[in-house]
């Protein structure tokens, strides 16, 4: 799932320093990494895990765990911003760019829907996940991503609120027209730009 749920563990309070130019409006800085999910945490073994890109028919591309790890990967250092108002600076990830994955799939579309273990979905425009803006990541701070933070892999789209960085992602469904995902269908903003405070549909 992702971060709009009220469930929070491991969060020890907010920083009073909210004047940093890297901090979007309405956010406060934390050194913790709050865990927020709207349901049970899936646990998928690596031998049962795969990742797929499709456009409504047969898979355009599919990778096993070993095949995914063999793809060209990048180290990424980014700030992340949750719609529940916390931000965390300088997080370190390793994963595969969506530019690489879509090139290997040989197909693009104006929109995509990220689908995850547990039934969670979130929608994204192609322009928000290409041009070095998004990754499917499998390491956080040099270690495998813990299940509670979305492991074995999660989407990372750091320029949008963190609910768009879907946990436990398993596939990308390419779409000619936009389709709201889980939180978007419950009133969260369809885009989710933290610098514009795009938290809800009426913003």
Q: What integer pLDDT is reported at residue 35 of this predicted model?
A: 82
Quick count: other Cβ atoms within 10 Å of Cβ 201? Answer: 13
d(CA 170, CA 153): 8
CATH code, 51-196: 3.90.420.10
Counted residue by residue, the chain has a size of 203
Q: Which of 153, 124, 180, 167 is nearest to 34 (CA)?
A: 167
pLDDT digits (tens, 9 = 90+) for 45-86: 899 999 999 999 999 999 999 999 999 999 999 999 999 999
d(CA 167, CA 115): 9
Residue 8 pLDDT level (bands cut at 50, 70, 90): very low
Q: What integer pLDDT is reported at residue 170 of this predicted model?
A: 98
Q: By percentage, how much of the chain surpasses pLDDT 90? A: 81
| DSSP state letter for 113 | E
pLDDT digits (tens, 9 = 90+) for 94-145: 999 999 999 999 999 999 999 999 999 999 999 999 999 999 999 999 999 9
Please, which residues have CB within 8 angstroms of residue 103's CB and are 6 or more apart in sequence? none
Q: What is the pTM of this model?
A: 0.88
Helical ranges in 36-138 per DSSP H: 65-69, 98-105
Q: Could you state, in order of their start, the residue ranges of all structural domains in the chain?
A: 51-196
């Amino acid at each position: 799932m992702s971060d709009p749920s009220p469930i929070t563990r491991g969060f020890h309070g907010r920083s009073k320093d909210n004047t940093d130019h890297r901090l979007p409006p309405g956010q406060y800085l934390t050194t913790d990494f709050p865990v927020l999910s709207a349901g049970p945490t899936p646990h998928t073994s690596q031998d049962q895990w795969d990742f797929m890109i499709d456009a409504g028919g047969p898979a355009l591309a599919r990778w096993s765990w070993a095949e995914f790890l063999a793809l060209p990967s990048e180290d990424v250092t980014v700030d992340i911003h949750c719609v529940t108002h916390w931000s965390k600076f300088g997080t370190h990830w390793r994963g595969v760019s969506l530019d690489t994955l879509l090139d290997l799939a040989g197909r693009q579309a104006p929109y995509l829907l990220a689908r995850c273990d547990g039934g969670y979905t979130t929608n994204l425009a192609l322009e928000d996940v290409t041009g070095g803006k998004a990754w499917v990541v499998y390491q956080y701070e040099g270690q495998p991503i813990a299940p509670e933070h979305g492991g074995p892999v999660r989407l990372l789209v750091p320029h949008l609120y963190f609910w768009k960085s879907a946990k436990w992602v398993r596939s990308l469904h390419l779409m000619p027209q936009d389709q709201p995902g889980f939180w978007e269908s419950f009133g969260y903003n369809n885009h989710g730009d933290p610098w514009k405070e795009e938290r809800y549909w009426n913003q």
